Structure 1
Amino acid sequence: MWVIATIIAALAQTGRNAAQAGLTGQIGTIGATAVRFFFGLPFAIAFLIAMSFSQQLPVPTLLTFAWAATGATAQIAATAFMLITMRGQGFGVATALMKTEPVTLAVFGTVFLAEPLGPARFIAISICVLGVILISGASWSRANQRSVAIGIVAGALFGLSAIGFRGAILSLPEGGAVLRASIVLVIALTMQTIAMLLWMALRDRAALGAIARSWRISIAAGALGAFASLFWFIGFALTSAANVRTLALVEVLFAQAVSTRLFRQGATPRQIAGIGLVVTGVAVLIRVA
């Protein structure tokens, strides 16, 4: 079930990214990032209300809010570091550095949630990450140490955010995977919406007006974002966050397939080798998870 949930989340996130990409030129990077929280929250709340008619909602504890706050804050910070890396080194290097997330995530899971890593899982995760780095086609000759360090920190923060969300889900006293994922999603999106609203009200009020004017495509991006996040969280409820985020690397394969099919962009030998590594790593991970 966690494999299905993760693949659904990866597909939905691809659609959300496409919608957000069209918004960046209209409302700026910060505005496009905020859209996923502002317009995703109403959909998350509506889904949770619908579930409340058939199930008893567990009451979140202080630990739930603490874990959710950790995940929400780390995710916002990771996004900021990611944007800094992209400005300094370009998309290829930044993407490759972001995809080191599963490695640091596996370590965080062992330290903070006492989730056993094991040599087989670590090898599978490392194979997948290496494959994605090869697929990215990043030109490392121009990468400076500062930007590389910032990119690795961003990947680590994305990993920490996943640990925070899984910790929040596990802290709920009862309920199925979908129900607990829905509750934590609403809590996290509420925190992130408040934080982004305060920041933009103080530092970027023009972007708030631009978001309001682009509400139609923002709704689509928000809906897809909430849908993707729900299935990420369902995956976190069913297995370790490292397993989910490693399998999520298949999103790179989706992107490569689209490039080949629609844009007639053939894969280089280096990228073909990377694809083989990702497929191998995912197969090993599913077998040992």
Structure 2
Amino acid sequence: MWVFLTLMAAFMQAWRNAFQSRLSREVGVVAVTLARFIFAAPLAGCYLAALYLWQPAPQPQVSSAVIGYVSGAALAQILATALMVRLFKLQNYAVGAGLAKSEALVAAILGMLFFGTQLSLLGWGGVLIGTAAVFLLSNKVSGSLSLGTLGLGLACGTSFALTSLWVREASLALALPFPHSAAWVLLAVILLQCLLLLAYLLLFQPHQLLALWQRWRLTLIISACSCLGSIGWFSAMSLTAVPYVKTLGQVEVFFMMLVSRFFLREPVKRAELLGLVLIALAAILVMWN
């Protein structure tokens, strides 16, 4: 089940990133970040309601730990999304999203250090290959990436990794059956993100809200892809450890290549392609752990 959910999430995320990349050419970073969540909130609410109609379950018992995990995940995902949009502005879609995929490597390391996740020697091999792949993407042979861009990508990946780790902890802390626990965490995280971003834009950039409204179809598509992807990620991470989910999720690199080449009409250089393929190889090795 978690393998299927992860593959679904990776596929939807590839398309969400592509549409966000397109929107980032027309509106600001915060507005593009909000586009990921604004219509996803009611969709997540409908999904949770459908789950309870399909299979009744207890209501969640919210503790201070759950509130802390949800708040941390919401803030980290906002930061990660904003950093990824910034990457899109600096590089093309495939390279920007590829750098953001360093999250799998960071999640494995942070998971082992702070969340009790263990990796075998084969798993460590995957981590090292993935690290080499990220550095390959920054190599000057690509002709465009700088150390600053690489640092931005690693910061983005770290923020996404923390999001995933805290989401799993929140889901486990709720002590609800699958998939209700993940659905509650999803709704709580998205609602908090919407409130924070809406408040910021209303106070400091109200014209950006108008810009989103004028592009409501593209915004709705981004939110829908985001919600479906998040359902897959959150559910999969409630079933197994984050490093396994995120490393398998590296199959997104192949979806990214296809979307970048045939939908966005963006060229991908040979060195960049090799780096993305190595990231996928790292995912396979860690999955065999």
TM-score under structure 1 length normalisation: 0.84
* 1:225-240 alignment runs, 5 A limit: 225-240=226-241
Counterpart for residue 158 of structure 1 = 160
Distance 1:31 1:164 in 2: 24
Instruction: Report the AA paired with residue 49 of structure 1.
Output: A
Q: CA deviation at 1:182?
A: 0.6
Distance 2:144 2:276 in 1: 24
Counterpart for residue 179 of structure 1 = 180
- Give secondary structure in 1 for the equivalent of 2:170: helix
Q: 2:65 aligns with which of 63, 66, 71?
A: 63
Q: CA deviation at 1:7?
A: 0.8
Deviations 1:121-164 (A, max 9, x none): 22223324534654688757765555543432232122111111
Counterpart for residue 19 of structure 1 = 19
Distance 1:62 1:264 in 2: 46
Deviations 1:151-202 (A, max 9, x none): 32232122111111111111111211x2111110001001101110111011
Give yes or no for contact 1:137–1:271 (8 Å, CA) kept in 2. Answer: no
Counterpart for residue 30 of structure 1 = 30
Distance 1:251 1:179 in 2: 26
Give yes or no for contact 2:95–2:137 (8 Å, CA) kept in 1. Answer: no
Counterpart for residue 196 of structure 2 = 195
Counterpart for residue 5 of structure 1 = 5
Q: CA deviation at 1:90?
A: 3.2
Give yes or no for contact 1:96–1:133 (8 Å, CA) kept in 2. Answer: no
Instruction: Report the AA paired with residue 128 of structure 2.
Output: S
Distance 1:253 1:138 in 2: 23
Counterpart for residue 106 of structure 1 = 108
- Give secondary structure in 1 for the equivalent of 2:60: coil
Give yes or no for contact 2:24–2:88 (8 Å, CA) kept in 1. Answer: no
Distance 1:185 1:156 in 2: 20
Instruction: Report the AA paired with residue 110 of structure 2.
Output: F
- Give secondary structure in 2 for the equivalent of 1:191: helix
Q: CA deviation at 1:245?
A: 1.5
Deviations 1:239-263 (A, max 9, x none): 1111212222211112324556676
Give yes or no for contact 2:100–2:154 (8 Å, CA) kept in 1. Answer: yes
Distance 1:271 1:39 in 2: 33
Distance 1:180 1:62 in 2: 16
Change (3 A) 1:193 1:258: closer
Distance 1:59 1:5 in 2: 26
Deviates more, 1:16-25 or 1:153-162: 16-25
Deviations 1:72-129 (A, max 9, x none): 1111122334445555x53476545423222221122123322223332222233245
Deviates more, 1:210-219 or 1:29-38: 210-219
Determine whether 1:149 maps to 2:151. yes
Unaligned runs of 5+ in 2: none
Distance 2:288 2:259 in 1: 27
Distance 2:42 2:259 in 1: 31
- Give secondary structure in 2 for the equivalent of 1:38: coil
Counterpart for residue 46 of structure 2 = 46
Give yes or no for contact 1:6–1:232 (8 Å, CA) kept in 2. Answer: yes
Give yes or no for contact 1:93–1:140 (8 Å, CA) kept in 2. Answer: no
Instruction: Report the AA paired with residue 216 of structure 1.
Output: R
Among all aligned residue pairs of Structure 1 and Structure 2, give the percentage whose two residues are the same amino acid: 27
Unaligned runs of 5+ in 1: none
- Give secondary structure in 2 for the equivalent of 1:222: helix
Give yes or no for contact 1:67–1:167 (8 Å, CA) kept in 2. Answer: yes
Instruction: Report the AA paired with residue 212 of structure 2.
Output: I
Distance 1:19 1:145 in 2: 26
Deviates more, 1:213-222 or 1:59-68: 213-222
Instruction: Report the AA paired with residue 233 of structure 2.
Output: W
Instruction: Report the AA paired with residue 8 of structure 2.
Output: I
Q: CA deviation at 1:223?
A: 1.5
* 1:122-271 alignment runs, 5 A limit: 122-131=124-133, 134=136, 145-176=147-178, 178-258=179-259, 268=270, 270=271
